[in-house]
Amino acid sequence: MPGEDKYHGVLLLDKPAGISSHDAVMALRRILNQRSIGHTGTLDPLAEGLLVMCLGKATKIARFISELNKTYEAEIFLGIKSATYDAEGADYNSPSSEIPDLKITDLEVLLDSFKGIIRQKVPAFSAVKIDGKRLYQHARRGQTVETPLRMIEIYDIKLLAYQKPRLNISVSCSSGTYIRTLAHDIGEALGCGAHLSALKRVRVGKFKINRALTLDAAAERHRKNEIYEYLLSYDKALDYSAINITDEFSRAVVNGRFLSWQDVVGIEGDFSRGDKVLLKNSRGEVMAVGTAAVDSKDFKSPKGELLFNYLRVLN
């Protein structure tokens, strides 16, 4: 069993295809001999790539990392549909539908039509709950359930390569986007059907896959006591502006005390009302995450109004 928490911070992991995100967490717990580890955004077992892991006390900020935008590299197999929208449910021995002759410009125009805020249907084979059961539980029993629609945003979608029947794209999107649903929808738009045949997550927020450790590399770094070099602190992991507070007030943060003007020493960066910001003490330690109740420019004008709304106390 994992022991006491030794590591506290954010670790970037390169998950291999073939294991679930939960399996990756369990493997890392065994490697580091640590119980408190959690991921911040599920990757399907068939997918590979970046999993942002929160270790020890850093599990407190997992929800904020989960909200970050993602970038994927996806391979879409045209001509064969899948009940699961991915390779798991595809029958490659079945006759494929005729794929239309496609020019690169045609594909680029089609992909561009998916950019922006769109309604996306949750796959029938997913962990979303309907009537107290996971959708995949209904689907595996042959039960037809109307799956919900979600508002998601595709910020950018680019053609990387096309060699019939394989279409390779790059997608930058909001959290909660199903790339396999996007693959299915592209196939429907082309009239030949399609499914997601491979997927790699290469970016989460500002975090990139080239900074991530494989499980084997994590084991080696742990053995050499070098994991600390790869751990990111709160302020490095959360790309927010900050409000610097007095030492006296920092001792009251744990109680969620109201932040007043005399408790503020200064600010870092610019922010607007409603933006997420950090509270930092004189040593630069992050005490809490919250939302600004005023614009940063208004911190120069003392007024008796609310300055900060707590979302999570960290220390």
Query: Active-site residues: which are they?
Result: 44
Q: Are strands 194-204 and 48-55 parallel, antiparallel or unpaired?
A: parallel
* Rg, C-alpha atoms of the chain: 23
Q: d(Cα 239, Cα 153) in Å, to the nearest integer?
A: 21
- Cα→Cα distances 268→68, 210, 277, 284, 296, Å: 21, 28, 9, 11, 9
Q: Give how far Cα 165 sits from Cα of 48, 78, 168, 185, 193, Å.
A: 21, 5, 10, 16, 11
Q: How far apart are CA 86 and CA 196, in angstroms?
A: 4
Strand partners of residue 297: none
Contact between residue 100 and residue 106 where contact means Cβ atoms under 8 Å apart:
no
* 253 token code pair: 């943060």
